[in-house]
Amino acid sequence: MNHNELVGWKALTDLMKQMHVIFLKDAGKHKHVAIREEITKRILAQYAGMVTEVTSKGKSLFARMFSLIHFGGWMTLYLAVLNNEDPEPVAVLILSRAN
Protein backbone atom coordinates (compact mmCIF):
# COMPACT_ATOMS: atom_id res chain seq x y z
CA MET A 1 0.00 0.00 0.00
CA ASN A 2 2.16 2.76 -1.23
CA HIS A 3 2.16 5.17 -4.17
CA ASN A 4 -0.68 3.88 -6.36
CA GLU A 5 -2.93 2.95 -3.45
CA LEU A 6 -2.30 6.16 -1.53
CA VAL A 7 -2.98 8.37 -4.56
CA GLY A 8 -6.40 6.73 -4.82
CA TRP A 9 -7.26 7.80 -1.29
CA LYS A 10 -7.27 11.45 -2.42
CA ALA A 11 -10.34 10.75 -4.56
CA LEU A 12 -13.79 10.36 -3.02
CA THR A 13 -12.65 11.90 0.26
CA ASP A 14 -16.11 11.71 1.85
CA LEU A 15 -16.22 7.97 1.22
CA MET A 16 -12.67 7.48 2.46
CA LYS A 17 -13.58 9.13 5.78
CA GLN A 18 -15.94 6.17 6.33
CA MET A 19 -13.09 3.66 5.96
CA HIS A 20 -11.23 2.03 8.81
CA VAL A 21 -7.73 0.90 7.87
CA ILE A 22 -6.23 -1.93 9.91
CA PHE A 23 -2.48 -2.51 9.69
CA LEU A 24 -1.50 -6.12 10.38
CA LYS A 25 2.06 -5.73 11.63
CA ASP A 26 4.73 -8.30 12.38
CA ALA A 27 6.59 -7.83 15.64
CA GLY A 28 9.76 -9.10 13.93
CA LYS A 29 9.77 -6.78 10.93
CA HIS A 30 12.86 -5.08 9.52
CA LYS A 31 13.44 -1.47 10.64
CA HIS A 32 13.06 -0.17 7.06
CA VAL A 33 9.62 -1.77 6.87
CA ALA A 34 8.69 -0.14 10.18
CA ILE A 35 9.68 3.29 8.81
CA ARG A 36 7.63 2.76 5.64
CA GLU A 37 4.62 1.59 7.69
CA GLU A 38 4.79 4.68 9.89
CA ILE A 39 4.92 7.04 6.89
CA THR A 40 2.03 5.20 5.21
CA LYS A 41 0.00 5.31 8.44
CA ARG A 42 0.50 9.08 8.75
CA ILE A 43 -0.62 9.64 5.16
CA LEU A 44 -3.69 7.41 5.52
CA ALA A 45 -4.68 9.09 8.79
CA GLN A 46 -5.32 12.25 6.75
CA TYR A 47 -7.95 10.47 4.64
CA ALA A 48 -9.33 7.45 6.53
CA GLY A 49 -11.87 7.76 9.28
CA MET A 50 -9.76 5.57 11.53
CA VAL A 51 -6.43 3.75 11.48
CA THR A 52 -5.67 0.83 13.80
CA GLU A 53 -2.59 -1.33 14.22
CA VAL A 54 -2.67 -4.98 15.21
CA THR A 55 0.73 -6.49 16.00
CA SER A 56 1.49 -10.17 15.71
CA LYS A 57 2.08 -12.24 18.83
CA GLY A 58 4.39 -15.19 19.32
CA LYS A 59 8.09 -16.00 19.36
CA SER A 60 8.47 -17.73 16.00
CA LEU A 61 7.61 -16.34 12.58
CA PHE A 62 5.10 -19.18 12.17
CA ALA A 63 3.34 -18.27 15.45
CA ARG A 64 3.28 -14.57 14.57
CA MET A 65 1.86 -15.25 11.10
CA PHE A 66 -0.92 -17.41 12.49
CA SER A 67 -1.75 -14.88 15.21
CA LEU A 68 -2.61 -12.38 12.45
CA ILE A 69 -4.45 -14.98 10.36
CA HIS A 70 -6.47 -15.87 13.47
CA PHE A 71 -7.25 -12.21 14.13
CA GLY A 72 -8.29 -11.67 10.49
CA GLY A 73 -10.61 -14.67 10.54
CA TRP A 74 -12.43 -13.47 13.63
CA MET A 75 -12.55 -9.91 12.32
CA THR A 76 -14.23 -10.97 9.07
CA LEU A 77 -16.72 -13.12 10.97
CA TYR A 78 -17.57 -10.23 13.29
CA LEU A 79 -17.95 -7.79 10.36
CA ALA A 80 -20.29 -10.22 8.60
CA VAL A 81 -22.48 -10.45 11.70
CA LEU A 82 -22.50 -6.65 12.13
CA ASN A 83 -23.60 -6.27 8.49
CA ASN A 84 -26.29 -8.97 8.69
CA GLU A 85 -24.40 -11.21 6.26
CA ASP A 86 -24.18 -14.97 6.55
CA PRO A 87 -20.42 -15.62 6.61
CA GLU A 88 -20.72 -19.25 5.53
CA PRO A 89 -21.71 -19.18 1.81
CA VAL A 90 -18.96 -18.57 -0.72
CA ALA A 91 -21.21 -18.23 -3.77
CA VAL A 92 -19.30 -15.19 -5.03
CA LEU A 93 -16.09 -17.25 -5.18
CA ILE A 94 -17.81 -20.16 -6.89
CA LEU A 95 -19.43 -17.88 -9.47
CA SER A 96 -16.16 -16.12 -10.26
CA ARG A 97 -14.49 -19.46 -11.11
CA ALA A 98 -17.33 -20.40 -13.48
CA ASN A 99 -16.80 -17.28 -15.58
Q: With CA atoms as reference, report the closest residue to 63 among 30, 26, 10.
A: 26
22-49: average pLDDT? 91
Confidence bin at 12 (pLDDT 50/70/90) = confident
| Long-range pairs of 42-45 with CB within 8 A, sequence gap ≥ 24 | 43/6, 43/9, 44/1, 44/6, 44/9
The range of the structural domain enclosing residue 92 comes to 3-98
pTM: 0.74
Q: How many domains does the chain have?
A: 1
pLDDT value at 95 more than 70: no
Q: Angle at the Cα of 43 (from 29 to 57), degrees rounded to 5?
A: 30
pLDDT confidence of 7, banded at 50, 70, 90?
confident
